[in-house]
């Protein structure tokens, strides 16, 4: 199975809570969520050239309106999205209502001041990987944009192997969007979803419905395949619980 497709499927359920994310300290500004932001865009672009990771440039109004606060609290604080932004991108925060360096960056990318949040996905040269888009305000919409940006940055597929982001299943995104042609997802009966993992360390991790189905199918057959359906944070929790099992 294509690893990018597989890892996209991992976080398909909005009920998923990434292990350890709840302990993260809240930002003093609700508008920016709980991502650990950089503030030096030029430094991030240079690091992108060295590491091969694209830049997640977040233009936000701080302090902001109710809509900006809602985006920060519901989207940019959602653990799977936070994990994906920090692990697969170099996150940079740009205030769209301040003078100085922030104002110069706004001018550079032709962004209006005092606007709703906008995200640019940039390569190491500061160029947009995908066209700018307004009103990307939901978990579903942002996760799909992240997929698109990473696919556009596919010169090194190894950089994309552990992408973790939310497919908002309950917001109307079908499982078919991320179905692999050689390994289609079939929802198991509820009674069967945890049968093989009920007495294992997997049962101590909060898993999405799809993860339960896949891991239950692989756990007693091929542990490596089962572990491949965990996010990086979940894998760390699993290995702490079962140190004898290595990926």
Q: Taking the complete model, does pTM exceed 0.75, yes or no?
A: no
pLDDT band at 195 (very low <50, low <70, confident <90, very high): low
Concatenated DSSP letters for 168-236? Answer: -GGGT--GGGG-BTTB---PPPGGGTTTTTTTSGGGGS---HHHHHHHHHHTTT-HHHHHTTS-HHHHH
Is the Cα dihedral 92, 94, 100, 103 positive or negative? positive
> Using 50, 70 and 90 to split pLDDT, how confident is the model at 185?
very low
Residue 128, pLDDT above cutoff 90: yes
pLDDT band at 121 (very low <50, low <70, confident <90, very high): very high
Which has the higher per-residue pLDDT, 241 or 13? 241
Domain borders along the chain are 23-165, 172-241
The conformation of residue 165, written as its DSSP 8-state character, comes to -
CA distance 216 to 209: 11
Residue 214, class by beta-carbon neighbours within 10 Å (0-12 exposed, 13-18 middle, 19+ buried)? buried
Q: What is the pLDDT of residue 165?
A: 41
Instruction: Check: CB of residue 134 under 8 Å from CB of residue 72.
Output: no
Domain 23-165 has CATH 3.40.250.10: no
pLDDT tens-digit series, residues 82-119: 988 998 999 999 999 999 999 999 999 999 999 999 99
What pLDDT, on the 0 to 100 scale, is given for residue 245? 60
From CA 204, how far away is CA 101, in angstroms rounded?
A: 46
Tokens of 13: 């359920």
pLDDT (0 to 100) of residue 182: 40
Residue whose entry in the numeric block shows the structure tokens 């239950």: 216
């Amino acid at each position: 199975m294509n690893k990018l497709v597989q890892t996209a499927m991992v976080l398909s359920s909005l009920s998923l809570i990434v292990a350890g994310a709840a302990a993260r300290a809240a930002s003093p500004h609700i508008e920016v969520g709980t991502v650990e932001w950089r503030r030096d865009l030029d430094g991030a672009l240079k690091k992108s050239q060295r590491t091969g990771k694209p830049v997640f440039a977040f233009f936000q109004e701080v302090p902001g309106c109710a809509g900006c606060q809602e985006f920060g609290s519901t989207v940019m604080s959602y653990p799977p999205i936070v994990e994906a932004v920090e692990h697969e991108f170099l996150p940079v925060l740009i205030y769209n209502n301040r003078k100085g360096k922030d104002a110069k960056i706004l001018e550079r990318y032709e962004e209006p001041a005092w606007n709703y949040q906008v995200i640019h996905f940039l390569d190491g040269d500061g160029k947009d990987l995908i066209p700018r888009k307004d009103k990307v305000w939901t978990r579903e919409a942002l996760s799909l944009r992240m997929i698109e940006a990473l696919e556009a940055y596919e010169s090194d597929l190894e950089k994309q192997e552990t992408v973790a982001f939310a497919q908002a299943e309950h917001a109307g995104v079908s499982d078919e969007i991320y179905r692999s042609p050689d390994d289609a997802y079939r929802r198991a009966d509820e009674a069967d979803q945890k049968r093989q993992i009920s007495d294992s360390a997997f049962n101590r991790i909060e898993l999405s419905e799809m993860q339960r189905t896949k891991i239950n199918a692989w756990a007693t057959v091929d542990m490596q395949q089962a572990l491949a359906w965990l996010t990086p944070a979940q894998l760390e929790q699993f290995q702490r619980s079962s140190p004898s099992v290595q990926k």
